[in-house]
A and B are shown apart, each in its own frame.
Chain A
Amino acid sequence: KAGVTQTPRYLIKTRGQQVTLSCSPISGHRSVSWYQQTPGQGLQFLFEYFSETQRNKGNFPGRFSGRQFSNSRSEMNVSTLELGDSALYLCASSGWTGEETQYFGPGTRLLVL
């Protein structure tokens, strides 16, 4: 079974721009969670989508948003990029209920200049 895929793998943007990241979960998984990882803050939860509905949201500003499609693929968007948004963005998928083990994709490394 194919694992979690994320595109693009690397991105360089400038302050003020916006970016959209994509995540395709493991086939059959309905839950997608997004995390931001930085050296100083570690892994921080952004939000989780299950069956196209956002079930949970972390403590990030409204510039961070996401959505999930009917095929469980998910996108996250960051608008008005700031230097501090430079990070590794990870998505993780889990199964039917969303409460099972989470499997991570390779991540998208975003650099904001």
Chain B
Amino acid sequence: QKEVEQNSGPLSVPEGAIASLNCTYSDRVSQSFFWYRQYSGKSPELIMSIYSNGDKEDGRFTAQLNKASQYVSLLIRDSQPSDSATYLCAVPNQGGKLIFGQGTELSVKP
């Protein structure tokens, strides 16, 4: 059974800072990784998907994947109070199943 681990936080950063969220996974053969953002009381919203080693940038978000070390991270540059949410790392298993970490709660202070 694959496992996905995240620090639950809360992670608190000042507005304008870089927030760094980390995720480790147990299965070496995992090929794709997803970051979802979930606001309180809402459903998860896809932020980034990453499939290859290295960095993938999308606006203020950068996902970093290191398959050798089995970790994937999400960097949020110029953090805004509106980025305050829980960030979920997910790894696909077979048959349409995503395995989620417990999520990291991010708080961006004005």
For A94, give its contact among B44, B96, B99, B102 (CB under 8 Å).
B96
Number of A-B contacts (CB under 8 A): 57
Q: Is the CB of A50 within 8 A of B96?
A: yes
Determine which residue in A43, A50, A94, A99 has the highest number of CB atoms from chain B within 10 A of its CB, and name it: A43
Interface size for B (C-beta < 8 A) is 21
B88 at the interface (CB under 8 A from A): yes
B43 at the interface (CB under 8 A from A): yes
Given the known interface contacts A90-B43, A105-B43, the answer about A42 and B92 at a Cβ–Cβ threshold of 8 Å is no
For B98, give its contact among A33, A88, A106 (CB under 8 Å).
A33
Q: Is the CB of B95 within 8 A of A56?
A: yes
Closest to A98 in B: B96
Q: Is the CB of A55 within 8 A of B96?
A: yes
6 contacts between A and B (CB under 8 A): A42-B102, A45-B97, A90-B43, A92-B98, A99-B96, A107-B42
* Residues of B near any A CB (own CB < 8 A): 34, 36, 42-46, 49, 88, 92-103
> What are the 6 A-B residue pairs with the smallest beta carbon separation, nearest first?
A56-B95, A48-B96, A55-B95, A43-B100, A104-B43, A98-B96
